[in-house]
Amino acid sequence: MTTSKEQILDNSKTARKARHAWYLYDFGNSAYAAVILLAVYSAYFKNAVVGGAEGTRLWGLSVGIAAIAVALMSPILGAIADSSRSKKLFLFLFTGFSIAFTALLFFVGPGDVIMGMVFFILAEIGYRGAQVFYDALLVDVSTPETIGNISGKGWAIGMIGGVVTLLIAVLPIQLIGNEFIPFTFIITAIVYALSSLPTYFRVKEVSPVVPIPEGHTLLSISFKQLANTFREIKLYKEFLRYMVAFLIYNDGIMMLMDFAAIIGGTLYGLTQVQLILFVIIIHITGALGALTFGRISDNKSSKRSIVLSLVILIVSLAFLYFIQSVVGFFIVGAFAGFSLSGAQAVSRTMVSQLAPEHKTTEFYGFLSVAGRTSTFIGPLVFGALSFKMHNHYLDQGMAELAAEKLGQLWGIGSILAFLVIGLLILLTVKEVTASHPIEYNQIKAED
């Protein structure tokens, strides 16, 4: 009995270490999101590298190109990971790729438009590609009863990673000036690299692996599984309905994240330091939101948690049409960060609840297709719409800055449209919990 108890305790400690290592990856992953996407590089590219409304358009184009590249790769990579127990291998290949090109952003200066776009696109492909496998490892560090809470904790610790990295950057920028901005990309790459190492050493892939039949190679069976999923996908009706909802509301969320710094700088004149402080507030409230909505997901359901978070986010963004002050913008950002982090954290939980166990990683690949395709469309819509309306107001004789501000408000309207439509479709999805899981008994396995 003593040996058995010691083994249980040892297993418990091992499980805790694996969870903590999984959390830490999000620490560095979110440092990238905070610095590159949210607070620093997006505004630096728009204002310093390009300038004006054209900077907004090219930023949207860059994000979109990276998104579609990952969308094309993700299902195949997910199928390969399912068959080979190689989620960690692919996670670190993509992570290393992202880290390298994040560091290379240091060399991007004013006028280096092509370099700035290419290095960012490659860093973003690595970042988004790695997320497919990081999310898929969630089932290896959780149970059906704890998956929502663990997902929320991972997101919360990720928010802390973003805050810490931004705090490291804010004082030098305040003291030295914008000349320090390129060094923040080096700092981000270092944080990202160090935070990813514990996952590699401590997380074990314990979820079931689909065996490779005789006569097939790893690559051929991956394509076969992917083809089978496409043929069978019409039977996964609840998953399909959720994917449509996710594709649309995630579009709004990603558009908001990709353009938050540009919106703050254009509409409210935020300086680089103010933008960093704004994103720090978003991350702090985002950590609280991820924990809160993760618990709601476990105690009630993932669907209820996402619906509530989207309602809060929609109401918050609507206030941007009435708020004129920087303080008001910061308050809106606090509520938006709280809700969007909850929606993102719980969305990956809901996928695991809707996916057949033997296709978990493959379904995360489909989640990636939906999300990456959505993030290809969204930035283009925001960038093109705001740029077109900016030109429209210029043609009417309006001043440059006023025209750009009104163009940005049209872009915000497109974000709200995606969020509302996605929410309405989500309301039609079946409510799934750990005690009442989804069943796909009608689907027969392929020979």
- What are 247-289's pLDDT values in tens digits? 899 889 888 888 888 888 888 988 888 988 888 888 788 878 8
pTM listed for this prediction: 0.75
The lowest-confidence range among 60-69, 187-196, 345-354, 411-420 is 345-354
The 3-state DSSP class for residue 315 equals: helix
Q: Which residues contact 126 (CB under 8 A, 6 or more apart)?
A: 94, 95, 96, 97, 98, 99, 100, 101
Asked whether residue 297 carries a pLDDT value surpassing 60, the answer given is yes
357 confidence band (pLDDT: 50, 70, 90): low
Report the pLDDT value the prediction gives residue 120, as an integer from 0 to 100.
Answer: 97
Here the tokens at position 224 are: 């076969």
Report the pLDDT value the prediction gives residue 83, as an integer from 0 to 100.
Answer: 66
Distance of CA 1 to the CA centre of its chain: 46
In the chain, % of residues over pLDDT 70: 82
- What whole-number distance in Å separates Cα of residue 378 and Cα of residue 335? 22
| Cα dihedral 175→264→276→336 (10° resolution) | 160
Asked whether residue 5 carries a pLDDT value surpassing 50, the answer given is no
**Total residues belonging to the chain:** 447
- What whole-number distance in Å separates Cα of residue 431 and Cα of residue 1? 42
Distance of CA 126 to the CA centre of its chain: 13
- What whole-number distance in Å separates Cα of residue 128 and Cα of residue 121? 10
Tally Cβ neighbours within 10 Å of residue 146.
15
- What whole-number distance in Å separates Cα of residue 119 and Cα of residue 104? 7
Domain ranges of the chain: 21-201+225-426
Asked whether residue 358 carries a pLDDT value surpassing 70, the answer given is no
CATH number of 21-201+225-426: 1.20.1250.20
pLDDT in tens, 86-116: 788 889 999 999 999 999 999 999 999 999 9
Report the pLDDT value the prediction gives residue 204, as an integer from 0 to 100.
Answer: 84
Please give the average per-residue pLDDT across 220-233, as a whole number: 68
pLDDT in tens, 360-406: 666 666 666 556 556 678 788 888 898 899 899 999 989 888 988 89
Report the pLDDT value the prediction gives residue 196, as an integer from 0 to 100.
Answer: 92
Q: What is the mean pLDDT of the chain?
A: 82
- What whole-number distance in Å separates Cα of residue 183 and Cα of residue 109? 12
